[in-house]
Structure 1
Amino acid sequence: MSQPLRDDIPQEAFDWYDEYAHGGMDRRTFMKKLGTLVAVGYSMAVLTSALLPNYALAEQVSFNDADIKATYETFDSPQGYGKGQGYLVVPANVDSSKTAVSLPVVLVIHENRGLNPYVKDVARRLAKAGFIAFAPDALYPLGGYPGNDDEGRAMQKSMDRDKIQQDFVAAAKFLKSHENSNGKLGAVGFCFGGYIVNYLAAVESDLLTAGVPFYGTPAKKELRENIKASLMVQLGEEDERVNKSWPDYEADLKRLNVPYQMHMYKNAKHGFHNDSTSRFDEANAKLAWDRTIAFFNQELA
Structure 2
Amino acid sequence: MKSVNTSSAATSHPIPQEAFDWYDEYAHGIIDRRTFMRRLATLTAAGLSLSVLTSALMPNYAEAEQVSFNDPDIKASYSTFTSPKGHGEGKGYLVVPAKIIAEPNRTAPTVLVIHENRGLNPYVKDVARRLAKQGFIAFAPDALYPLGGYPGNDDEGRAMQRSMDKAKLEQDFIAAANFIKSHTLSSGKLGAVGFCFGGYIVNMLAATMPTELDAAVPYYGTPAAEALRPNVKGPIMLQFGGLDERVNATWPDYEKTLKANKANYIAHTYPGVNHGFHNDSTGRYAPKEAELSWTRTIAFFNKHLG
Please tell me the TM-score bracket, short chain as reference: over 0.9
Give 1:177 deviation, angstroms: 0.2
Give 1:204 deviation, angstroms: 2.2
Does the C-alpha gap of structure 1 residues 244 and 125 become closer, same or farther in structure 2, counting only changes over 3 Å?
A: same
Q: How many residues align?
A: 298
Return the match for 1:33 from 21, 39, 54: 39
Specify the alignment match of 2:67 in structure 1. 61
Which ranges in structure 1 are unaligned for 5 or more consecutive residues?
none
- Give secondary structure in 1 for the equivalent of 2:228: helix
Does the C-alpha gap of structure 1 residues 14 and 136 become closer, same or farther in structure 2, counting only changes over 3 Å?
A: same
Query: Is it true that 1:109 corresponds to 2:114 in the alignment?
Result: yes
- Give the whole-Å Cα distance in 2 for the aligned partners of 1:70 and 1:279: 28
Does the C-alpha gap of structure 1 residues 146 and 4 become closer, same or farther in structure 2, counting only changes over 3 Å?
A: closer
Query: Is it true that 1:218 corresponds to 2:223 in the alignment?
Result: yes
Specify the alignment match of 1:80 in structure 2. 86
- Give secondary structure in 1 for the equivalent of 2:81: strand
| Aligned partner letter, 2:277 | F
- Give the whole-Å Cα distance in 2 for the aligned partners of 1:112 and 1:265: 22
- Give the whole-Å Cα distance in 1 for the aligned partners of 2:10 and 2:16: 10
Q: Percent identity?
A: 67
- Scaled by the length of structure 1, the TM-score of the pair is 0.97
Return the match for 2:243 from 213, 219, 238: 238
Specify the alignment match of 2:277 in structure 1. 272
* Alignment map for 1:189-228 (pairs within 5 Å): 189-228=194-233
- Scaled by the length of structure 2, the TM-score of the pair is 0.95
- What RMSD in Å do the two structures reach over aligned CA positions? 1.2
- Give the whole-Å Cα distance in 1 for the aligned partners of 2:100 and 2:106: 6
Return the match for 1:131 from 129, 133, 136: 136
- Give the whole-Å Cα distance in 1 for the aligned partners of 2:73 and 2:155: 33
Give 1:40 deviation, angstroms: 3.7
Specify the alignment match of 2:54 in structure 1. 48
Q: Is the 8 A contact 2:233 2:258 kept in 1?
A: no
Query: Is it true that 1:174 corresponds to 2:170 in the alignment?
Result: no
- Give the whole-Å Cα distance in 1 for the aligned partners of 2:218 and 2:182: 22
Return the match for 2:123 from 118, 124, 139: 118
- Give secondary structure in 1 for the equivalent of 2:224: coil
Give 1:7 deviation, angstroms: 6.0
| CA distances 1:55-88 after superposition (whole Å, capped 9, x unpaired) | 0000000000000000000000000000000000
Specify the alignment match of 2:168 in structure 1. 163
Query: Is it true that 1:255 corresponds to 2:260 in the alignment?
Result: yes
